Amino acid sequence: MQEGIFPKNLTSPIGLCSDHAGYELKEYIIGILKAEGVTYNDFGTYSEASCDYPDFAHQLGAAIDNGECELGIAICGTGNGINMTLNKHQKVRSALCWKEDIALFAKSHNNANVITLPGRIVTHEEARRILKVFFQTEFEGGRHQKRIDKIPL
């Protein structure tokens, strides 16, 4: 694995979104993105004031659908609500990842383009390790591509 978390050859900004329960972890991740010189679009939320995760998840989902962002990171308390919302978007394959092995297969088998983290469940160090696996694992293609092609309605 290469040093750092994020690949150096990304062709579009990484999209970010969270609700209030994911805000603190989103800010931590933004610190890593800045330190690594990776461009990102932060679709909010922008504070710990109580809010509704779909208001931000739909903005990231639209950015994936229209090609503005190729990859995204989404965070709410459990990860469930924001993940459910993102997956309503036709081009989004969002995977809720709470440990490294889930992230490994989310990318290698499902070619997930959004990683969702449960901000109230994982520590900063766990999030860092999960993100590293997700962003440094390659999609295997082959039989998995055939299955992914059957997902959109």
Active site positions, annotated: 76, 109
Number of residues in contact with ligand RB5 under rule CB under 6 A: 8
Contact segment (CB under 6 A) with ligand RB5 among 30-38, 75-83, 86-94, 125-133 equals 75-83
- CB of residue 96 to ligand RB5, shortest distance in Å: 10
Instruction: Give me the sign of the Cα torsion angle 134, 136, 142, 148.
Output: positive
Count CB neighbours of 142 within 10 A: 8
- CB of residue 82 to ligand RB5, shortest distance in Å: 7
As a 3-state breakdown, the chain gives helix, strand, coil percent values, each rounded to 5, of 40, 15, 45
Count CB neighbours of 30 within 10 A: 16
> What is the x/- site pattern for ligand RB5, positions 48-67, by CB under 6 A?
-----x--------------
Establish if 78 lies at the interface with ligand RB5 (CB under 6 A). yes
Residues between 18 and 37 with contacts to ligand RB5, criterion CB under 6 A: 19, 21
37 conformational bin, left if phi > 0, alpha if psi -120 to 50, beta if neither: left
**In the bound complex, which residue of the shown chain has the CB atom lying closest to ligand RB5?**
81
Establish if 81 lies at the interface with ligand RB5 (CB under 6 A). yes
- CB of residue 118 to ligand RB5, shortest distance in Å: 7
Q: What is the H or E stretch that residue 74 is in?
A: strand 72-76
Q: What is the H or E stretch that residue 115 is in?
A: strand 114-118
Establish if 80 lies at the interface with ligand RB5 (CB under 6 A). yes
